[in-house]
Amino acid sequence: MSPAPVAEITTESKPAKTSPRNYPGALVVVEGIDGSGKSTQLHLLKRWLEVGGFRTHFTEWNSSPLVAAATKRGKKRRLLTPVTFSLIHAADFADRYERQILPLLRSGHLVLADRYVYTAYARDGARGCPEAWLRNLYRFAMAPDITFYYRAPLEIAMGRILSGRPRLKYYEAGADLGLSLDRLESFRIFQGMILDRYDQMIESEGFVLMDGTLAVHKLQEQMREIVSARIDLKRFATT
């Protein structure tokens, strides 16, 4: 499994598949494997926009209270198969999409999403769920205005994660897939499978590729420049 090289950042990425826009808001998404730096960058962008007086809303993967108890119980008892895991995440996303994302887009907010449908395509696909089935499951979701893909080499991303974790969780490590008896090795293999799937979506989904090995401040500068160039931020000013 040989990772694709990190390309130079560009604002000329192939546009993602789009649906007719019937709302005044905008959707900015970050994607990437664990430890890629995407969440840090999105939080910094959110803070910058808030200080600038822009209407923003933040949402993250697997955060709906609707399925939180079922997810926790399923993980604790190790009852989740790849399909049930996928369906739980789809229910979580659908709830947030209908109650948060879509209403706020319609009311003219800049919605910032830490992971979107591409996480399901990458993770659930790595767990063996058919791509056509996954895309049909999320067919209701609008294409983002910008999708930033933070790509860091597998070893660097793993180092960041493991430096702050006393122990990898069962599903986090992909231990349910029987990839290796060693949980660390299972995590490495699983993350590599997810990384491969993300790489396959770069062109087809119009990802803006970000070099996750760069300094935090440099990446944030690039992110702000791209957002400012592609989205008319004046539309989101509160004053």
pLDDT in tens, 142-186: 999 999 999 999 999 999 998 877 789 999 999 999 999 999 999
Q: Which of 158, 159, 120, 149 has its CA nearest to residue 137?
A: 120
- Please report the pLDDT score of residue 20 as a whole number: 54
The C-alpha torsion from 219 through 237 and 19 to 62, rounded to 10°, is: 60
Residue 58 covered by a domain: yes
Residue 130: exposed, middle, or buried by beta-carbon count in 10 A (0-12, 13-18, 19+)? exposed
Q: What is the CATH number of the domain that holds 196?
A: 3.40.50.300
| Domain count along the chain | 1
Residue 127 covered by a domain: yes
Residue 15 covered by a domain: no
Residue 20 covered by a domain: no
Residue 16 covered by a domain: no
Q: Could you say which residues of the chain have pLDDT below 70?
A: 1-20
The structure's pTM equals 0.89
Q: Which two tokens stand for residue 80?
A: 């989740």
Residue 18 covered by a domain: no
Residue 2 covered by a domain: no
Is the dihedral angle over the CA atoms 205, 91, 36, 214 positive or is it negative?
positive
Instruction: Note down the domain range covering 174.
Output: 26-228
